[in-house]
Structure 1
Amino acid sequence: MMDFSAILPALPGLWEGMLTTLQLMLLGVLGGVLLGTLLAVMRLSHNRLLANLAATYVNYFRSIPLLLVITWFYFAVPFLLRAITGEDTPVGAFTSCVVAFLMFEAAYFCEIVRAGIQSIPKGQMGAAQALGMTHGQCMRLIILPQAFRKMTPLLLQQSIILFQDTSLVYAVGLMDFLNAARSRGDIIGQPHEFLIFAGLVYFTVSFAASLLVKRLQKRLAV
């Protein structure tokens, strides 16, 4: 018979793991949206070189597993810093995972942002340019604000997926929420109870966030 009584005393340690998970998600989303927006603008550019570079980046990262990207960056980031600085710079699993999530999620956020930009009537760009605004001003002041309003539910939905994907950092030994629950369960000798609890937490957070996204989507539609 399963005994969940050991979970309550372990909550402080599990909360530290959850904070790591939330930090990874937040930094990955913020960096991914910024880089993804830049890539989306490049993909829509009339400059074929920029458009092809962005398309290659997106297609590449969307064609490989996230677990492989996390492992690559765990070894690649210190190597690149050593090549640039000439010194061994300690990076750590957390920083390398943030870079991996940022680079990987940017490919998906790029497609979301690109779809949002393309949903704005082209006449608005022409009207803004007729008023003397540059292309950059049009994108920054007119197109992107409207596009982000339309694509907010999709961005949040992708953020929920990233929240779930943070559990893959076990591959580099980072103590996120799932890894903390699993290790605590192994120490106490109750691995099944702690994994079930972790699964319930992931489900509760993801399901509640999905309901909020649906409500937001209905409000924006109105």
Structure 2
Amino acid sequence: MIAGFNVIADNLDYLLWGRMATGEPGGVLLTMLMAAGAAILALPGGIMLACLAWRFTGAMRTALFLWAELIRGIPLIFVIFWMWYLLPLMTGGDLPGALTVTLALAWFTAASVMHTVLAGLNALPRGQYEAALTQGFSTQQTLWRVLLPQVMRNILPSLVGIFISLLKDTSLAFIVNVPELTTVAGQVNNRVQIYPAAIFIFTGVVYYLLCCSLEQLAKRWRVTRQAL
């Protein structure tokens, strides 16, 4: 067991930062960068899609629902593969692997955010929307100033769960050899070929700590907001 810890200690920099010294982040750092980037894209994207689905009926809402059901109904690994092979064809050049996976994660996560926000909007009393209109607010102003602030507060636990799943889903980047935490852990294991339990227990503990930290930050933020 002590030797297993020595393997972790000897490769700790690589597991945490990858080849950051040469400008190629990896390990835990790249995992966090991809998760943060995907969340930054997926949250406003999902909110805007939910607002469109809430505001407009007919063909637009049907199209948004079909898109969301398609994305949520297939494994994320297929979305990553699609983006990996299709984006170079669409852009005419190769994109960095980490960027491709980040875009795939954002696209996948935006569908879940859309459904969650839309459910929050539908749960609010219809009278709030009508009252805001009678006060001279436009539909857009009612959404952004009256309805969405309440929705975001109510659905925070669901959003935290979505982004915790997003953080763990970054591990699927190993299928296209993007050097996030799971990939570099596998590389270390293949290089030393001993103590795989220690390496992957360490990897699991890191994911657990990252997810718990995100949950605690969300709880603290919510308590702070309620105290104001």
| TM-score, with length taken from structure 2 | 0.87
Query: Which stretch shows the higher mean deviation, 190-199 or 143-152?
Result: 190-199
Looking at structure 2, the residues matched to 80 and 46 of structure 1 have their Cα atoms a distance apart, in angstroms, of 30
Backbone CA RMSD of aligned residues? 2.1
Specify the alignment match of 1:9 in structure 2: 10
Match of 2:32 among 13, 22, 35: 22
Q: In percent, how many aligned pairs have the same letter?
A: 26
How far the C-alpha of 1:200 sits from its partner, in A, is: 1.8
Distance 1:53 1:101 in 2: 21
How is 1:94-113 mapped onto 2 (pairs within 5 angstroms)?
Answer: 94-113=98-117
Match of 1:85 in 2: none
Q: Does 1:79 align with 2:93?
A: no
5+ residue gaps, structure 1: 83-88
Answer yes or no: is the 8 Å Cα contact 2:84–2:101 preserved in 1: yes
Equivalent position amino acid for 1:3 in 2: G
Give the C-alpha shift of residue 192 in structure 1: 2.9
TM-superposed deviation, 1:65: 0.1
- By how many angstroms is 1:207 displaced? 3.8
**Corresponding position: 1:143 with 2:153:** no
Paired with 2:217 and 2:41, the residues of 1 have a C-alpha distance of 23
- Cα offsets for 1:91-121 (capped at 9, x unmatched): 1211111110111001101111111212222
Instruction: Specify the code of the residue in structure 2 equivalent to 1:24.
Output: M
The worse-fitting range, judged by mean Cα deviation, of 59-68 and 8-17 is 8-17
**Whole-angstrom distance in 1 between the partners of 2:134 and 2:176:** 53
1:213: Cα distance to partner? 4.9
The letter of the residue matching 1:78 is P
Find the counterpart in structure 2 of residue 45 from structure 1: 55
Contact persistence 2:4–2:199 (CA under 8 A): no
TM-score, structure 1 length as denominator?
A: 0.89
The aligned length equals: 216
Q: Partners of 2:50 and 2:133 in 1: how far apart?
A: 20
Query: Displacement of 1:50 after TM fit?
Result: 1.1
Question: Which amino acid counterpart does residue 4 of structure 1 have in structure 2?
Answer: F
Counterpart secondary structure, 2:11:
helix
Deviations 1:63-106 (A, max 9, x none): 00001101110111111112xxxxxx231211111110111001
**Partner SS, residue 55 of structure 2:** coil
Aligned match of 1:58: 68
